Structure 1
Amino acid sequence: MLDHPLNSLGFAKPPSETRVVVAMSGGVDSSVVAAQLKEEGYDVVGVTLQLYDHGAALAKKGACCAGRDIHDARRVAETMGFPHYVLDYENTFREAVIEEFADAYLAGATPVPCIRCNERVKFKDLLATAKDLEADCMATGHYIQRMQGAAGPELHCAADANRDQSYFLFSTTPEQLDYLRFPLGHLASKAETRALAAKYGLPVADKPDSQDICFVPNGNYAAVIEKLRPGAAEPGEIVDLEGRVLGTHRGVIHYTIGQRKGLGIGGLGDPVYVVRLDPDSRRVIVGPKEALSTRIIPVRDVNWLGDAPFDSRAEWHVNVKVRSTRQPRPAVIRPVSATEAEVELLNPEDGVSAGQACVFYAPEGSRILGGGWIWRGR
């Protein structure tokens, strides 16, 4: 028998003897996690990452990890009475996230930097720092659930489907999942989170949610890439599927698969969409909507969270999500190796793009089975 019943974080000891590092972005979600755990009596240590130039961040609104957010995280720590540290991860973040983001766009892909940030910074380096601080676990404000299964901890979708962040956390490894905690995943709505923030008297209770990628002001990806890679936006031709020139463009980096508006080639009759990007020839290829339809998706760098080894079966019947804003759809995964596979969608989808994630879900229930990176568009 256990000497002490399990506490809310799953440890057989009192909260006061359980140290938890909380990754604090300065927003309401992670602030509530820290405040709630502190109120429950845990030994809370707040850590905020400075991910890019502090001076530039101060002038920026509507994104996470900026200078204002560091200040807000510190105020929450002072309000609740726990220590708070700011760690300079600018170089790590630039090398592991921003540089790849720019290179992926230049290669005609559509990257998801928030996944890479979780994978390479927050759940890698910050998690290691939490262990150095002798924490029993690390908690975040992500809307996702960690549940104990027959074979160990499992990753499950958030109770609130509108807030679920499973798409951005598919690359969480079993080892990381063993150490991580997600105290907000069971909440029914964001209103509950804000009510808790008000209850604890947090200065961020009414703070708006961040919308943009933290280093991309106003969602202007192309401007960031041109700054990182001067001369990247070279003009070229817009062509149809047969190669006929329909117009010119001001740089492949300004376009994404599935884009319809802003092509500047009106008067063609039926609408056309971007169906492929060829950065080598600096061509944007357009076609009718049906040309976007994709059934077979190659994926690599697979992170598998199922109980049996990924390549122990010839096929896995699952649901998959190919964009964060889409619902999971039925598919068959055919492993090529332990980290590569071919995904066949039972019903074709439009706008599947290299650089996006393909996330795997159990066909029944809420469990996330992992996912991989789409590595060529069509």
Structure 2
Amino acid sequence: MKVLAAMSGGVDSAVAAARAVEAGHDVVGVHLALSRMPGTIRTGSRGCCTIEDAMDARRAANLLGIPFYVWDLSERFAEDVVDDFIAEYAAGRTPNPCMRCNEKIKFAALLDKAIALGFDAVATGHYATLSDTATGRELHRASAWAKDQSYVLGVLTAHQLAHCYFPLGDTPSKALVRAEAEDRGLQVAQKPDSHDICFIPDGDTRGWLSDHIERRPGEILDEDGEVVGRHDGAHGYTVGQRRGLQLGRPAADGQPRYVLSIRPVSNQVVVGPKEHLAIGTIAGGRYSWAGEPGFEVSEPFDCDVQIRAHADPVPARARLEPILDAERTEQHRVGASHEIVVDIDLERAEPLLGVAPGQTAVLYTGTRVLGQFTIDRALAAQQTTAEVLG
């Protein structure tokens, strides 16, 4: 099999490429240049895609004896990931840029180019497993749930999964991968993992957004509509946030208040008690299926839903529903005709906390990824009115 190994410069992708070579595949390494002005030095575990990372990837490829190239996808990355990130925050949502990068760059732009060049598959260092069945290829969790990365791969389609290769999926731990890299003589064996948004390497998301979104001062309201403070830009807040609210009036019960919703049209931030962050129903669009579900998705079906990369999945019941024009609100995405609605099984699980529009919800059955959608709306678990939070 002719394999294009996506080499980020980290230990996981280097070992994945090494295993592909060892398996007898015809392997070519490629590093994606995603910034026109990448930083030259990584600071600890912050950031990625630096010149240093490209050099680390090249050294690993040289050691493995495989051809190596750097592909400039910076323009596509800026349009599909960075611009989307800015637009989502400006609209009062909290996006996940890693999901967009996997969807639009690593498994769209990269994969399309690889197929056009005659490659059979793209190999990455993600911790997830693939299973070929009579109805097609399925995406499953990695054998080690603590390192499982199937959530961030939930955006992949059946076509993309057919050309994916995850050599690390059955590896029980990251420690074993590092030990293997050491044994293979790879210099990245002890290189720290990157944890931050790659285009905001200093970790100051609020400061970065202030340079890209016009600041519009506005009001901070409590749930009764009373003004309890002012903000210098709603984009600097996210649902569930507690710190940095700078409220001018304390709550009557003296308890901390949290951001419950952001209203981009009126430029207002709504705050309230922590218990009002508890969510029992989420809904949204921009959905995709990771292969053939195997059942009629318009009928309610049982599943587990996960709303963050490292969150625990919770039991739920989901359905795909048409969006009726008479019921359409500003939270519905423009042009969307259907949405996925997910009710948390509150008899078996606690409500979700701090759900923000813009987050990605990934649906599972057991270890299998069914698909994903972008959350547009969330309803409180103890809803007493028809108001939709977010």
Measured in 2, the distance between the counterparts of 1:240 and 1:307 equals 45
Any residues of structure 2 matched to 1:188-203 within 5 Å, and which?
188-203=172-187
Measured in 2, the distance between the counterparts of 1:83 and 1:283 equals 54
Residues 312 and 359 (structure 1 numbering): CA distance in 2 closer, same or farther, change over 3 Å? closer
Partner residue, 1:288: 273
Measured in 2, the distance between the counterparts of 1:203 and 1:345 equals 46
Any residues of structure 2 matched to 1:117-132 within 5 Å, and which?
117-132=101-116
Q: 1:322 aligns with which of 276, 294, 307?
A: 307
Q: 2:317 aligns with which of 318, 329, 332?
A: 332
Asked if 2 retains the 8 angstrom alpha-carbon contact of 1:301 and 1:339, the reply is: no
Partner residue, 1:7: none
- Listed as ranges, the gaps of 5+ residues in structure 2 are 323-336, 379-388
1:140 aligns with 2:150: no
Asked if 1 retains the 8 angstrom alpha-carbon contact of 2:42 and 2:48, the reply is: no
Residues 308 and 251 (structure 1 numbering): CA distance in 2 closer, same or farther, change over 3 Å? closer
Partner residue, 2:222: 240
CA RMSD of aligned residues (A): 1.7
Partner residue, 2:360: 357
Partner residue, 1:114: 98
Asked if 1 retains the 8 angstrom alpha-carbon contact of 2:255 and 2:273, the reply is: yes
Partner residue, 2:62: 78
Asked if 2 retains the 8 angstrom alpha-carbon contact of 1:302 and 1:339, the reply is: no
Measured in 1, the distance between the counterparts of 2:234 and 2:297 equals 41
Measured in 1, the distance between the counterparts of 2:294 and 2:284 equals 17
1:263 aligns with 2:266: no
Partner residue, 1:376: 377
Letter paired with 1:20: V
Cα distance, 1:60 vs structure 2: 4.4
Measured in 1, the distance between the counterparts of 2:277 and 2:67 equals 51
Stretch moving more, 115-124 or 143-152: 143-152
> In the TM superposition, what whole-angstrom CA distance separates every residue of 1:135-167 from its partner, at most 9, and x where no partner exists?
121111011111122312110001111111111
2:4 match: secondary structure = strand
Asked if 2 retains the 8 angstrom alpha-carbon contact of 1:303 and 1:339, the reply is: no
Cα distance, 1:272 vs structure 2: 0.8
Q: 2:234 aligns with which of 219, 232, 252?
A: 252
Residues 312 and 325 (structure 1 numbering): CA distance in 2 closer, same or farther, change over 3 Å? closer
Asked if 2 retains the 8 angstrom alpha-carbon contact of 1:296 and 1:342, the reply is: yes
Partner residue, 1:27: 10
Q: 1:297 aligns with which of 251, 275, 282?
A: 282
TM-score w.r.t. length of structure 2: 0.87
Measured in 1, the distance between the counterparts of 2:277 and 2:289 equals 28
Cα distance, 1:291 vs structure 2: 1.5
Stretch moving more, 164-173 or 335-344: 335-344
- Which consecutive aligned stretches of 4+ in structure 1 deviate over 6 angstroms post-superposition? none
Asked if 2 retains the 8 angstrom alpha-carbon contact of 1:145 and 1:157, the reply is: yes
TM-score w.r.t. length of structure 1: 0.90
1:41 match: secondary structure = coil
Cα distance, 1:168 vs structure 2: 0.8
Count of aligned pairs: 356
Measured in 2, the distance between the counterparts of 1:205 and 1:158 equals 21
Measured in 2, the distance between the counterparts of 1:159 and 1:102 equals 35
Letter paired with 2:319: R
1:277 aligns with 2:262: yes
> In the TM superposition, what whole-angstrom CA distance separates every residue of 1:340-365 from its partner, at most 9, and x where no partner exists?
22111112312111100111010xx3
1:162 match: secondary structure = helix
> In the TM superposition, what whole-angstrom CA distance separates every residue of 1:38-88 from its partner, at most 9, and x where no partner exists?
23332110011100123x421443222121111110111111111111011
Letter paired with 1:375: D
Residues 310 and 271 (structure 1 numbering): CA distance in 2 closer, same or farther, change over 3 Å? farther
2:146 match: secondary structure = coil
Measured in 2, the distance between the counterparts of 1:92 and 1:27 equals 22
Cα distance, 1:300 vs structure 2: 1.0
Residues 27 and 339 (structure 1 numbering): CA distance in 2 closer, same or farther, change over 3 Å? farther
> In the TM superposition, what whole-angstrom CA distance separates every residue of 1:124-145 from its partner, at most 9, and x where no partner exists?
1100121133112111101111
Residues 256 and 57 (structure 1 numbering): CA distance in 2 closer, same or farther, change over 3 Å? same
Letter paired with 1:282: N
Asked if 2 retains the 8 angstrom alpha-carbon contact of 1:355 and 1:375, the reply is: yes
